[in-house]
Amino acid sequence: MKTIVELFTRYKFILIVLLLSALAVVDLANYGLPPTHDGEYHIMRIWQFYRVLSDGNIFPLWAPDFNNGFGVPLFNYVYPLPNYIGSFFHWLGFSLIDSYKLTMVFGNLLGAIFMYLFISQRWGKVSGLVAATFYTYAPYHLLDIYVRGSVGEVVALGVFPGILWSYEKFMKESRYRYFVIAACLLGLLILSHNILAMIFFPVFLIIEFFVIMSKTEKVKRIQQLVAASLVGVGLASPFWLPAILERKYVQGLQTSNPIDHFPELYKLIYSSWGYGFSGDNGAGQMSFQIGIAGLFVVILAVILTFFVRKIRREVFFYFLILLLTIFFITPYSSWIWERLPLVNYVQFPWRLLSISTFLIALLSGLIVRRDIYKKNIFPILISTFLILLSIGFSLNYTKAPFYHKRADNHYLIRSNFTDGTNSPGDAFNTIWLDNLPKKAKNKIELVGKGQIEIIKMSSQRYIFSVDLEENSIVNINTAYFPFWESIIDSEYSKTQNSNGVISLDVNKGVHEIEVFVRDSYLRKISYFIFYLSILMLVLLYKFRIGIMNNKNNHENCN
């Protein structure tokens, strides 16, 4: 009993954070699926990803059952980490629907814990608790869970504060393990959601550069920041490098124009909690609000700068980033969006609400720092008020309007879920197929006289034999993609593109044929970068290049 009391006393703030975070997602324990924008897409992705993993492919590329059974290179372009997490839960025995919801819960809990660790490390445990609460109950965070169903964004929001926590822990203590954790978490951020990673990465650099400017040995610290960033980006290269440089092989990656999705400024202050899509401007449109509690924190933080000089520099720095973020969310920045390269891949300007969500949570922790008040009772009272304010204004957003009372089979037996390309309007496909191909009776078909015997069929590999009476064409009813390769009687043979479908020219006689997905040269280069990044971590540890700031830190590390 004494041990339990001691553990509770030691970890009570973490336990409170976990409890408050769990309360925000407990509604997901209901049977079925909430009516989110993307939830059904993610369930089907977990289904296909798990199938490819089960066939022994550690880095899935192909979704074999989509596209009317002709497959699509979905996982070459779609962020994989939520699918790995969802597949793990499914492997444990949970349904696909529950695996998707558990991945959402995991991302939410992760964000709360990392936000607490990050802020408590800076300004104390009470500040960490307040910041974690504001982060968890931010309207945009809950919108991602209950309206948009964007599991990738929820996981990315979970990972991001962990990068700042671990990197600032490294700067504070010079312990190499935190350098490794920061680099790995940066890589995981990219694997969580490539678009949010593109948004969060510069924010991470700006914040840490701001911190470094108040430290000694600035040059060395900047070198460390660059090293951690390079390693983190390198660790994720097997995903982002092919996704960017091989996008020419698919169509439909750019599904929306940011110019069509600017919310009006007043909707950032408050807007009704609808479930409609962005851009339709209807009465039931999704909400873009920052939240009343969040606005109160911003106003309070600015007011405090007139009385507390100690926090003035930090408040105005984060307030400036927040203003810039709001500017880029609103139509006033349209002229910039039209001119900047690659911004179209952000798709929706309101995605930058993820930055405001983080900044407001950070400010909430900053304004309850114990060292800026003369009496300890003040930060406790203000913290309690802010926590109640945050939860109170968002409590109605922590539940779905209803649940589709469905099991996995509802999706797995319906062609509208299984046979498309897992994208809005079935736009996503290879450039050699303009439309969904008609379903084929067999995976392997012969144009000529002879027989086919199937030896083994898996998601990314087909093995069969043919006995041909004449030179023939063998059609593989799989969408043509340059990285499908074939071996005929132990010799490599080039696959052909026949109206967007794979075909082979095979001579008369008996042959054993293997058709499989190979790694592209670019993907092999990405593996090299991945292993090089691991080697860099080893070398940095071995030689302490730019890692330890001084002799004392080196001794502390040991």
Report the percentage of the chain scoring pLDDT > 70: 95
Look at residue 557 in the predicted model and tell me its pLDDT: 40
Q: Which of 213-217, 228-232, 349-353, 472-476 has the lowest mean pLDDT?
A: 213-217
The residues, any chain, with a CB within 8 Å of residue 365's CB and separated by 6 or more, are 119, 122, 123, 127, 128, 130, 131, 134
- In terms of C-beta density within 10 A (0-12 exposed, 13-18 middle, 19 or more buried), how is residue 328 classed? buried
Q: Where are the alpha helices (DSSP H) in 213-255?
A: 218-235, 237-245
Query: CA–CA separation, 546 vs 219, rounded Å?
Result: 10
Compute the mean pLDDT over every residue in the chain, rounded to the nearest whole number: 91
The amino acid present at 84, given as its one-letter code, is Y
Q: Return the number of other C-beta atoms located less than 10 Å from residue 416's C-beta.
A: 9
Q: pTM (2 decimals)?
A: 0.93
pLDDT, tens digit, 9 for 90 and up, residues 71-123 = 999 999 999 999 999 999 999 999 999 999 999 999 999 999 999 999 999 99
- Determine the distance from the C-alpha atom of residue 343 to the mean position of all C-alpha atoms in its chain, rounded to a whole number: 18
Q: What pLDDT band is residue 283 in, cutting at 50, 70 and 90? A: low
182 half-sphere exposure, CB direction, 13 A CA radius: 27
Name the β-bridge partners of 285.
Answer: 276
* 465 three-state secondary structure: strand
pLDDT, tens digit, 9 for 90 and up, residues 385-402 = 999 999 999 999 999 999
The arithmetic mean of pLDDT across residues 226-254, rounded, is: 91
The arithmetic mean of pLDDT across residues 513-521, rounded, is: 93
Query: CA–CA separation, 179 vs 221, rounded Å?
Result: 12
Query: CA–CA separation, 421 vs 425, rounded Å?
Result: 9
Q: Return the number of other C-beta atoms located less than 10 Å from residue 3's C-beta.
A: 7
Query: CA–CA separation, 466 vs 20, rounded Å?
Result: 62
- The token duo for 14 is 């973490």
Residue in 288, 489, 297, 320 with CA at minimum distance from that of residue 383? 297
Q: What pLDDT band is residue 552 in, cutting at 50, 70 and 90? A: very low
pLDDT, tens digit, 9 for 90 and up, residues 83-97 = 999 999 999 999 999
Query: CA–CA separation, 451 vs 469, rounded Å?
Result: 9
pLDDT, tens digit, 9 for 90 and up, residues 247-269 = 899 987 766 788 888 998 889 98
Look at residue 484 in the predicted model and tell me its pLDDT: 94
The residue among 283 and 197 whose pLDDT is bigger is: 197
Look at residue 255 in the predicted model and tell me its pLDDT: 66
Look at residue 421 in the predicted model and tell me its pLDDT: 87
pLDDT, tens digit, 9 for 90 and up, residues 349-385 = 999 999 999 999 999 999 999 888 888 888 889 999 9
Q: What are phi and psi of 431, to 5 degrees?
A: -70, -10
Would you say residue 424 has pLDDT above 50? yes
Residue 445 near residue 477, CB atoms below 8 Å: yes
Task: State which of 5-14, 421-430, 442-451 shows the largest mean pLDDT.
Answer: 442-451
The arithmetic mean of pLDDT across residues 279-301, rounded, is: 87
The arithmetic mean of pLDDT across residues 527-531, rounded, is: 95
Query: CA–CA separation, 241 vs 400, rounded Å?
Result: 37
